[in-house]
Amino acid sequence: MATDILTLEDVVAGYGKMTILHGLSCTVARGAITTVIGPNGAGKSTMFKTVFGMLPARSGRVMFDDAEITNLPPRDLLARGISYVPQGRNIFPELSVRHNLELGAVMAPAGADLSGRMEAAMARFPVLRRKADQQASTLSGGEQKMLEIARSLLLEPKLMLIDEPSIGLSPLMVNELFGILTEMRHRGITVLLIEQNAKRALESSDYGIVLELGRTRIADTAAHILADPRIGQLFLGGGLAEKVA
């Protein structure tokens, strides 16, 4: 089986007459955390939506687990082992925490041990167990993001796409979030991440991809990207540490 779990080859995509991805090519290492960074408009979220079948690729191809998945619908991608946690809050606020989790299991394969998966989610996120019968709207912003991640994990994905998970979270909750992402990697789940706090994300990542104008500008280890002065100068308006402090 290939070392890379996801490959984009010359992908072109956009909205209406506007092209955002101009032949994007990159790879994502299996069992690692990879963070995608770049200035606003570089195509980060567009990349995720194209991979997950929410936005059609106009040309090029997307490969996952040695099979082409270009323009497959999200339902098929969930079944193949790709989960997507989009930017913002994506819960059912009037439903209980437990019911939100149960909805995440709707796409689980026939015969899956759903009660066991629910129990594992509750064990991994104790706050969700404590508040299982509360309306999801009563959770804090950080707890709601934990709920989204827990719901995605019920499908036992091979690859998770997570877009800007730390927006609006306290520093303490951000640390907890990155601890969860690290635990996911230890369990063999590949994580592809977009994160506003680029320095913090890269510090927890194995690899980084820098996008510019819908193309890959740099792809390297996270440590090399953090040490590269071009990153701050070209993409973050100054020194990397200075920009995200």
Element (H, E) at 144: helix 141-153
pLDDT tens sequence across 157-209: 999 999 998 888 888 888 888 999 999 999 999 999 999 888 889 999 999 99
Do 171 and 152 share a structural domain? no
Do 169 and 59 share a structural domain? yes
Do 174 and 151 share a structural domain? no
pLDDT tens sequence across 2-15: 599 999 999 999 99
Do 55 and 74 share a structural domain? yes
* Final residue belonging to a domain, choices 138, 156, 174: 156
Do 217 and 163 share a structural domain? yes
Phi–psi pair at 229, nearest 5 degrees: -65, -20
Do 163 and 74 share a structural domain? yes
d(CA 50, CA 192): 14
Query: Would 170 be classed as within a structural domain?
Result: yes
Query: Would 88 be classed as within a structural domain?
Result: no
Query: Would 113 be classed as within a structural domain?
Result: yes
Q: Are 209 and 193 in contact (CB under 8 A)?
A: no
Mean local confidence (pLDDT), 107-134:
84
Do 40 and 117 share a structural domain? no
Do 144 and 116 share a structural domain? yes
Q: Which two tokens stand for residue 10?
A: 């010359």
Query: Would 86 be classed as within a structural domain?
Result: no
Query: Would 87 be classed as within a structural domain?
Result: no
**Domains of the chain: total:** 2
Please state whether beta strands 59-64 and 207-212 pair in parallel, antiparallel, or not at all (unpaired). unpaired
Residues of the domain holding 131: 93-156
pLDDT tens sequence across 59-118: 999 999 999 999 999 999 999 999 999 987 788 999 999 999 988 777 776 667 778 888
Do 163 and 76 share a structural domain? yes
* Final residue belonging to a domain, choices 137, 156, 175: 156
Query: Would 118 be classed as within a structural domain?
Result: yes
| Residues 6+ away with beta carbon under 8 Å from 20 | 13, 14, 41, 43, 46, 214
- Angstrom CA distances, 22 to 11, 43, 143, 215, stand at 7, 9, 37, 6
**Position of tokens 């635990």?**
183
d(CA 84, CA 116): 22
d(CA 223, CA 243): 17
pLDDT tens sequence across 197-242: 888 899 999 999 999 999 999 999 999 999 888 776 665 544 444 4
SS3 label, residue 60: strand
Cα of 27 vs its chain's centroid, Å:
15
Do 41 and 8 share a structural domain? yes
Q: Are 153 and 116 in contact (CB under 8 A)?
A: no
Total residues belonging to the chain: 245
- pLDDT confidence of residue 121: 85
